[in-house]
Amino acid sequence: MPERLKLYFNPRSRAVTARWMLEEVGADYELVPIGFEADDANKQALRAVNRMGKIPTLVLSDGTAISETPAIIAWLADAYPEAALAPAVGTPERGPYYRWLFFGGSCIEPALTETMMRKDAPPLPKTSVGWGTYEDVLATVEEAVSTSPYLLGERFSAADLYVGAGLSFAGMFGEPQVKANKVLQDYVARVTDRDAYRRSQSQ
């Protein structure tokens, strides 16, 4: 899909994951820098397309805006099928692919937030919160990648990009359970050992 895309971006944010995906699919894109200060020059334009004012936000050439990192990743995987980062729609493998993308957003993200930002608070009730416990979330990913290199088996997919980015972020910020887990560390090393990942890290 040859079109020029626009990514509202800050190098110290989740937008780096969206940029990694743009690099994976070989998209033609520009970065629109967003500072975290309230009076940032591009904040108004961002709010016009995403009232949350959150990044990443991807804008297509027709003006359609997509926010939420996993939605951006999923859209790009489908829009650039030649990159082969998602199983075809309707195939059995598409199910686990969705499962891991949504697991990233609805389990890994909030579990990480709970463990990293509410260290001194008692854990939320595991039968009520969608992610159960942080320990269960990590063990679930660990189990999946201990017998095969990637979440869907032998082939890297966009789900690995999103799940791997979350775990990599946790490790970078010194989250002790991810850091101490060799299976997860090896997985992160495997999924980030890619030229597109390295390009996405440049400032």
Ligand X SMILES: N[C@@H](CCC(=O)N[C@@H](CS)C(=O)NCC(=O)O)C(=O)O
Stretch that binds ligand X, among 49-57, 78-86, 92-100, 137-145 (CB under 6 A): 49-57
Please pick, from the candidates 68, 114, 160, 175, the single residue that binds ligand X as defined by CB under 6 A: 68
Stretch that binds ligand X, among 51-59, 144-152, 154-162, 177-185 (CB under 6 A): 51-59
Distance of CA 18 to the CA centre of its chain: 7
Determine if 200 is a binding residue for ligand X (CB under 6 A).
no
Residues forming a β-bridge with 31: 7
Closest to ligand X by CB, 131 vs 181, is 131
Contacts of 156 (CB under 8 A, 6+ apart): 85, 149, 150, 191, 194
Give the footprint of ligand X on residues 70-99 (CB under 6 A): none
Stretch that binds ligand X, among 47-55, 115-123, 152-160, 184-192 (CB under 6 A): 47-55
Closest to ligand X by CB, 36 vs 91, is 36
Size of the site for ligand X (CB under 6 A): 9
Determine if 42 is a binding residue for ligand X (CB under 6 A).
no
Determine if 53 is a binding residue for ligand X (CB under 6 A).
yes
Closest to ligand X by CB, 166 vs 181, is 166
Shortest distance (Å) from residue 128 CB to ligand X? 21
Give the footprint of ligand X on residues 172-191 (CB under 6 A): none
Residues that bind ligand X (CB under 6 A): 13-14, 36, 53-56, 68-69
